[in-house]
Amino acid sequence: MDKIVISGGTPLHGEIKISGAKNATLPILAATLLSPEPYTLSNVPNVADIATMQKLLRAMGAQIQGQDGIYSIGIPQITSCEAPYEWVKTMRASILVLGPLLARHKEAHVSLPGGCAIGTRPINLHLAALSQMGAEITVEHGMIHATTKQLKGATIFFEPSTVTGTENLMMAATLAEGTTILKNAAQEPEITDLAQFLNQCGANIVGAGTDQITIHGVPALSGASYTIMPDRIETGTFMVAAAITQGELTLSDCRPENLTCVINTLKKMGSDITTGKKWIRIKGGPIRPFDITTLPYPEFPTDMQAQAMALMTLSSGLSKITETIFESRFNHAAELRRMGAQIYIEHNYAIVQGVKSLSGAKVLASDLRASSSLVLAGLVANGETEISRVYHLDRGYEKIEEKLSRVGANIKRVKAV
Ligand code: EPU
C-alpha cells in the first residue's frame, strides 16, 4: 500500500486550482441512469470514488469515455440493476443508484450498506421514503430488493435531514407520477448542483438549496451537458493548509459563497482571508482557539471537522468541537495525539489544548477526512510524518501531493512495492 511522507515546517505559498466536487459528481453520475440519452460531464474529479461509481455504472450497461475531467456517458439500456456488496462495501455512495434505477427500470437490487469508520450511517430514511412513493422493498441476506409498477408523488419528511437521502428521492421523484415534496430536505450545495443538472435534463425541481424541495414528475428526461461545481471541502482543506503552515495561498476555481461558515471560522482562528467571485486568498496568522459545532449546511460541515481539529492542536489555548452529525468521527484524534497533540474526547465532544509544536510520526489514516487532517498536521510537524492507508485520501482528493508540493510542501508518495 502507498504511503505519503511529509517533511514538515515549510510555509506554503502560491496558487492551487480546486477540482470538481466528489460529492456532487457521485449523485450526478448516478442520475445518468435516469435517461437513455447521452450526457457530457465536465470538471469530474479524478479520485477513486468517482472511478468506483463509473465501474458500477458500466456494470449496469453504461458506456463511458473521456479523460481530463470530461466524460461522455450513455446508458441506452440498463443491462443489470444490481449493486452487489463488493461495490457498496467499497463505497457507501453506491446507494445513490437505488432511486434512479427504480424510477427508470422499476427494479433495483442494492446491497445494504453496513456501518463505517465514522458511524452506523443507516439508510432507513431512503427506504421509508421510497416505500411512501409506492416502491415495494424487502431486505434479505443483506440485499435491498426494490420494485415498483410506477413511483407516485408523495410528501416526505426527513428527520434528520440526509444528504444522499434527499438526492436519492429527488432523482426518484423526477420520473414519478405527480408531485413530490421533500420536507426538511438537506440544503448542501451539492443538492443544488444535482437539481440544476436534473432540470437541464428536463426535470421540474423547485426549491433545491432550501429545506423544502418540490419535484413535479415528468414522463421522461433527456441527456445534457453539465459542469460539476467545485469541491468546497477540498477548498476548505487547502485553506487550513495555509493557516496551519502560516503561509499564503490563493485557491482558484472555487466558490467562496459555499464556504461562508468555514471562512468565518478560520478568520476567527487568526487567518486573513479575502475572496473574489471564484477565488479565496488566505494568509495564516497566529492561531487562536475557537469552538465549533458541526451541523448541516450552511453551518460548519462535519467534512471539515478533522481538518479544523488539526489546526486547533497548534492554537494558543483551549478549543472545543461538538460533532453532531456522525457519532464516531474522531478517529484522527488518536493519531494526532501520536504527533504530540493534546486532545480529550468525551462522547461527541473533543477538547483540544493547543501545543507549541507537533512532531512527525508514523500515523494511520482511518477515513477520508481523517487522512487529510494527518496531512495537514504533517505539513507543520517537526521532522518526518509517514501516513499509511492513503487509499482513504485517494478516494476524495485529486493529486493532493502534487498540488501541495507545487506550493512548497515537502511531500511525496512512496509507492507500494
Ligand atoms: N441518517 C439516518 N438515516 C438515514 C440517513 C441518514 O439516520 O436514512 C443520519 C446519519 O446517520 C447521520 C445524518 O443522518 O447522522 C446525516 O447523514 P447523511 O445521510 O446526510 O450523510 P450521507 O448522505 O451518508 C453525505 C456525504 C458525506 C458527508 C455527509 C454529511 C456524500 C456521498 N457523502 O453522506 O461525505 O459527511 O453527507 O454532510 O455526499 C465525505 O465526503 O468524506 C463524506 C463522508
Report pLDDT digits (tens) over 237-279.
Answer: 999 999 999 999 999 999 999 999 999 999 999 999 999 999 9
Ligand 1 contacts CB of residue 230 (under 6 A)? no
Predicted pLDDT of residue 118: 83
* Residue 321 grid coordinates: 468541537
The pTM assigned to this predicted structure is 0.98
Ligand 1 atom showing the smallest separation from residue 128 Cα: 8
Which strand (E) or helix (H) includes residue 379? helix 368-380
**Whole-angstrom distance, CA of residue 233 vs CA of residue 41:** 20
DSSP string, 330-365: -HHHHHHHHTT-EEEEETTEEEEE--S--B--EEE-
116 is catalytic: yes
Q: Are 345 and 309 in contact (CB under 8 A)?
A: no
C-alpha distances in angstroms, 62 versus 67, 88, 396?
16, 18, 23
The 10s digit of each residue's pLDDT in 107-122 is 999 999 877 788 888 9
Q: Are 118 and 305 in contact (CB under 8 A)?
A: no
Ligand 1 contacts CB of residue 98 (under 6 A)? no
The 10s digit of each residue's pLDDT in 282-322 is 999 999 999 999 999 999 999 999 999 999 999 999 999 99
Ligand 1 contacts CB of residue 26 (under 6 A)? yes
Evaluate whether the domain defined by 22-227 bears CATH number 3.65.10.10: yes
Predicted pLDDT of residue 417: 76
Distance between Cα 274 and ligand 1 center (Å): 30
The 10s digit of each residue's pLDDT in 378-394 is 999 999 999 999 999 99
**Whole-angstrom distance, CA of residue 134 vs CA of residue 66:** 37
**Whole-angstrom distance, CA of residue 247 vs CA of residue 240:** 10
Predicted pLDDT of residue 272: 98
Which strand (E) or helix (H) includes residue 110? strand 107-111
Q: How many helices (H) and strands (E) does the chain have?
A: 14, 24
Ligand 1 contacts CB of residue 115 (under 6 A)? no
* Reported CATH class of domain 3-18+230-414: alpha beta
Ligand 1 contacts CB of residue 169 (under 6 A)? no
Distance between Cα 121 and ligand 1 center (Å): 7
Ligand 1 contacts CB of residue 123 (under 6 A)? yes
Cβ count within 10 A of residue 344: 12
Ligand 1 atom showing the smallest separation from residue 327 Cα: 15
Q: CATH 3.65.10.10 in the chain, residues? A: 3-18+230-414, 22-227
Ligand 1 contacts CB of residue 91 (under 6 A)? no
Distance between Cα 266 and ligand 1 center (Å): 24
Ligand 1 contacts CB of residue 297 (under 6 A)? no
Mutate to test the pocket of ligand 1, among 164, 187, 366 (most ligand atoms within 8 A of CB): 164
Ligand 1 atom showing the smallest separation from residue 296 Cα: 38
Ligand 1 contacts CB of residue 94 (under 6 A)? no
Residues in the chain, pLDDT under 70: none
Predicted pLDDT of residue 307: 98
* Residue 7 grid coordinates: 517533511
Q: Are 89 and 81 in contact (CB under 8 A)?
A: no
Ligand 1 atom showing the smallest separation from residue 162 Cα: 20
Mutate to test the pocket of ligand 1, among 162, 322, 372 (most ligand atoms within 8 A of CB): 162
**Dihedral, CA of residue 25, residue 364, residue 376 and residue 319, to nearest 10:** 100
Nearest to 243 by CA among 286, 295, 213: 286
Ligand 1 atom showing the smallest separation from residue 301 Cα: 38
**Whole-angstrom distance, CA of residue 206 vs CA of residue 196:** 10
Catalytic-role residue among 81, 116, 201, 254: 116
Predicted pLDDT of residue 397: 97
